[in-house]
Structure 1
Amino acid sequence: MKAFMDFEDCFFLIKVNAAPFQLNKRAITFSACPTAGDHPFDLLTVHIGGPDPPEPGKPESFNVSGKMTKYNIKKNKSILVIGYGDLNGQLLHDAYIQTFTESISKGRQFTELASDVPTPPDLPSTYTLAVAIGDPVDDPDAPVDTYGCALATVGGKSKNLIFIN
């Protein structure tokens, strides 16, 4: 059975225990996203092209790569979604969405560049950054069937990342 994840509610579903501290200028480390039930997400590799961490209000580029193990990326259907969230589960800005322009078979390595991704004008000292790949579905409560994902906590140390079922 497929599990559906509403990307806009991703930050609401994720509980992050973080210890805030002064934001240090250091590279962001992305980790695997929490599992939604028995639906594990393939881990994406994410590299930030400009300042790392991103600077508030300035566009950023993301180089996303990986290999989908169970799903094909479909030309003109599958999407790359990038979102910034606070530690209370709220998006800080509209999620960035980019449609894939070529099909990629499961098991095949891919790289996708997302340039000019808006960064929220006001970033808290600690926030989350999620990058996901999936297919849009006709469900307003869960508009994206997510199958690849990476998550980072910026400005704090993540202790636990779990989905609340």
Structure 2
Amino acid sequence: MNRIFILAFVLFATLFAVNAAPLELVKRETKFPPCPNAPPDVVGLDVKMTPDPFVPGKEETFDIKGTLKKDIVAGDLLGLGFIDLVAEAPIGDPLVVDICTLPGVTCPIKAGTAFSTTQQLTAPAASDLPKSYAIIIAMEHGTPPDVEALACSAAIFGADSDSSAVPDFWSFL
């Protein structure tokens, strides 16, 4: 009878020890879905950010890939920036570059051809980040006021991505 109690005690102790052990933490990768309210021909981009999550005030590396529905030609722009969703204004200086001047890019890039680039941007300091903001990566053709959106993806923080507070992303480039 004592052996049964000892065995039961050991089994319960083992069960409690296994349940009390910390679970493996799963790293949450920042998602960059297509921009809300984007025109129908605008595609989402596959964006990977390093480090993820970003470190305020430190340089971030963005690997950007996508296959566009329209040709990329000289003068088309790639924009990357942090946006305050309440003030509807950039936080710091966004990066805006001519896609065809990027190293390793040969223009024109025909529609349906894969495109990729790696860009770096310093994240704003923690004190500069509002409660709701977004990291936006967008590609566009033309110059204001005749701008045509090509691609857009955004990671939204502190706000519902379906919220009416999400601004028109094209006005930031």
Q: Structure 2 length as normaliser, TM-score?
A: 0.65
Any unmatched runs of 5+ in structure 2? Answer: 1-26, 101-105, 169-173
- Please give the alpha-carbon distance, in whole angstroms, between the structure 1 residues aligned to 2:167 and 2:123: 27
Quote the residue 2:84 is aligned against.
86
Hey, which of these two has a bigger chunk of helix by percent? 2
Aligned to 2:162, the other structure's residue is in SS state strand
Is the alpha carbon distance of 1:124 and 1:111 closer, same or farther for their aligned partners in structure 2, counting shifts above 3 Å? same
Of 87, 112, 116, the residue aligned with 1:111 is: 116
Quote the residue 2:46 is aligned against.
45
Quote the residue 1:34 is aligned against.
36
Deviation, 1:26, is 3.6
Partner AA of 1:81 in structure 2 = G
Deviation, 1:74, is 1.3
Aligned to 2:91, the other structure's residue is in SS state coil
- Please give the alpha-carbon distance, in whole angstroms, between the structure 1 residues aligned to 2:97 and 2:167: 27
Q: For 1:11-160, what aligned pairs fall within 5 Å after superposition? A: 26-36=28-38, 39-48=40-49, 50-69=50-69, 71-75=70-74, 77-88=75-86, 89-101=88-100, 102-103=106-107, 104-115=109-120, 117-121=121-125, 122-139=128-145, 144-154=147-157, 156=158, 158-160=160-162
Question: In terms of Rg, which structure is larger?
Answer: 2
Partner AA of 2:46 in structure 1 = T
Aligned to 1:149, the other structure's residue is in SS state strand
Deviation, 1:98, is 2.0
8 Å CA contact retained: 1:72, 1:106: yes
> Looking at both structures, which has the greater relative contact order when contacts are Cα pairs under 8 Å and sequence separation is at least 6?
1
- Please give the alpha-carbon distance, in whole angstroms, between the structure 2 residues aligned to 1:126 and 1:35: 18
Partner AA of 2:95 in structure 1 = Y
Q: Structure 1 length as normaliser, TM-score?
A: 0.68
Number of residue pairs matched? 132
Is the alpha carbon distance of 1:161 and 1:110 closer, same or farther for their aligned partners in structure 2, counting shifts above 3 Å? farther
Quote the residue 1:9 is aligned against.
none
RMSD: 2.5
Residue by residue over 1:47-95, the C-alpha shift from the partner in whole angstroms, topping out at 9 and shown as x without a partner, is 11x22122122121111111111x11114x1111011112312211221
